[in-house]
Structure 1
Amino acid sequence: MTTVTTTRTAARVENAVKVYGSGDTSVRALDGVSVGFPAGRFTAIMGPSGSGKSTLMHCAAGLDTLTSGTAHIGDTELSTLDDRRLTLLRRDRVGFVFQAFNLVPTLTVAENITLPLDLARGKGSREWIDALVDVVGLGDRLHHRPSELSGGQQQRVAVARAFAGRPDVVFADEPTGNLDSRSGEEVLGLLGRAVRQMDRTVVMVTHDPVAAAHADEVLFLADGRLVDRMEAPTADKVLDRMKAFDGASGSEGVRS
């Protein structure tokens, strides 16, 4: 399924193919995926285990390379960049939120949030950082270390850090996977507010229909192919669509 978008895309892949291994043991994790992630929108990627959703995110973000096809951040094609320029692009134009919070334990909350700016030797905007701190609700925790925070608070720090440099797009890989339902809802609400109130762009991989319901649109992958998409998702609608994969056999591009 080829996706055509008319709005500005923060990131996109075209005819993306990713093959791991070779010969009889090779695995085709992505099988000709073309999709754009619109700027200023919250997109979720879902699919059964092994569908290629994390591979798609990693290749779109420049964390992994495609076997064939192209990946772009804005108008920049990632395959044209050498290692140094790709590292700089990921630092300056891409934010990441992972299931494991990946905070630096020796730094305070404030220092963790501004770490991308410090690494880039950029001061950034004090007003922007203050606005982020306000949105994530951590104004009274800025001098704490990660070990002094709950899991939900640590993930909120990670979200603020991801947005600190005003990247073109933030990729979130199962960002609520290590959180209880209440903390997870807080983090998902935070990602949604960053998109809608601060004009940010988020692409999130998740297996959770409740999490996907926070997005503006859900993309569904199966066997490395884009097989469906859903605007204005609800948890029930997403769950029903995911259940359809269990009994699918060759329909809508889903292979058993």
Structure 2
Amino acid sequence: MTAAARVVDAAKVYGSGETEVRALDGVSVDFPAAGFTAIMGPSGSGKSTLMHCAAGLDTLTSGSARIGDVELSGLTDKQLTVLRRERIGFVFQSFNLVPTLTVRENITLPRDLSGRPADPEWIDALVDVVGLRDRLHHRPSELSGGQQQRVAVARALAGRPDVVFADEPTGNLDSRSGAEVLGLLGRAVHEMGRTAVMVTHDPVAAAHADEVLFLADGRLVDRMPEPTAERVLDRMKAFDGRAPGARRTPQEVGP
């Protein structure tokens, strides 16, 4: 199966000596094209670090990360910026919409900034998929949280990216809105042929994926095809007994 993105022997180390934190410790994984992959694990497991390095938002200490056949470590900052703009879409927990722009303007913003306007027919199809045709001239403050995240999903897909990386995309949403957003990501994969990689802590969200990868202490420890919320929850419970003092990455240290 063709990989839209992959990491091989990925290692990410912060600090040195006694303060060294090994956020990723030799992770190798393919993210299949036209597939929906969820990444789960306890706080400090390296799941956000893995996504950030796979997406070119952060660099590996060693190992390799590729988008298609492009090795990210060999790119300049400018080339990385172009690759992220042209081949990658991002959805974050905090929506990240521009408050002064309308829904339509937010959706097309990345393409407008690139100087390569989005395909009008594709944008039109996306608007229908996310169900916001009657909100196109509204601004983010006039939308619910779920509607704002649907705009963010449409924006991520506007340039027909190879891969959409979603970091806790339902973290700020109620269960109904979250299910709508997850359904949209699933439709983008299974009906539009896109690829989605999602970091989540929610077993219900993970159950929307085709496969779940489980990380612990920077290592890939398990994978689950055709997940259900119940099976994912049972697997996550197994992490509750892990040893005290497990490593935590700077990105994943929480309150």
**8 Å Cα contact 2:89-2:161 kept in structure 1:** yes
Report the alpha carbon displacement of residue 248 of structure 1 after superposing the two structures with TM.
4.7
The partner residue of 2:144 within 131, 146, 150 is 150
* Match among 6, 11, 17 for residue 12 of structure 1: 6
Q: Specify the code of the residue in structure 2 equivalent to 1:244.
A: A
Q: Render the CA deviation track for 1:164-210: whole Å, top value 9, x for unaligned.
A: 00011000000000011111111011111111111110000000000
Structure 2 regions of 5+ residues with no counterpart?
Answer: 248-255
Distance 1:68 1:35 in 2: 15
* Matching of residues 14-163 of structure 1 within 5 Å: 14-163=8-157
Q: Distance in 2 between matches of 1:57 and 1:248?
A: 23
* Distance in structure 2 (CA, Å) of the matches to 1:191 and 1:48: 23
Deviations 1:43-92 (A, max 9, x none): 00000110000000000000000000010000000010001000100111
* Structure 1 consecutive aligned stretches of length 4 or more whose deviation exceeds 3 Å: none
Quote the Cα distance in structure 2 between the aligned partners of 1:21 and 1:90: 27
Task: Confirm or deny that 1:179 pairs with 2:173.
Answer: yes
Structure-2 separation of matches of 1:175 and 1:221:
19
Q: Secondary structure at the match of 1:114?
A: helix
Deviation, 1:242, is 0.5
Alignment partner, residue 3 of structure 1: none
Identity of aligned residues (%): 82
Structure 2 distance, partners of 1:53, 1:81, is 23
Residue type of the alignment partner of 2:202: D
Task: State the AA in 1 paired with 2:228.
Answer: T
Aligned counterpart in structure 1 of residue 224 of structure 2, from 225, 230, 242: 230
Aligned equivalents of 2:33, 2:113: Cα separation in 1: 25
Contact 2:112-2:118 at 8 Å conserved across structures: no
1:163 Cα shift?
0.3
Query: Which structure 1 residue ranges, 5 or more long, are not aligned?
Result: 1-6
The equivalent residue for 2:213 is 219
Give the structure 2 partner of residue 4 of structure 1: none
* TM-score (normalizing by structure 2): 0.94
Please report the RMSD computed on the Cα atoms of aligned residues, expressed in angstroms: 1.1
Instruction: Give the match for residue 166 of structure 1.
Output: 160
Contact 2:107 2:158 in 1 (8 A): yes
Larger RCO: 1 or 2 (CA < 8 Å, sep 6+):
2
Structure-1-length-normalised TM-score: 0.94
2:193 pairs with 1:199? yes
* Count of paired positions: 245
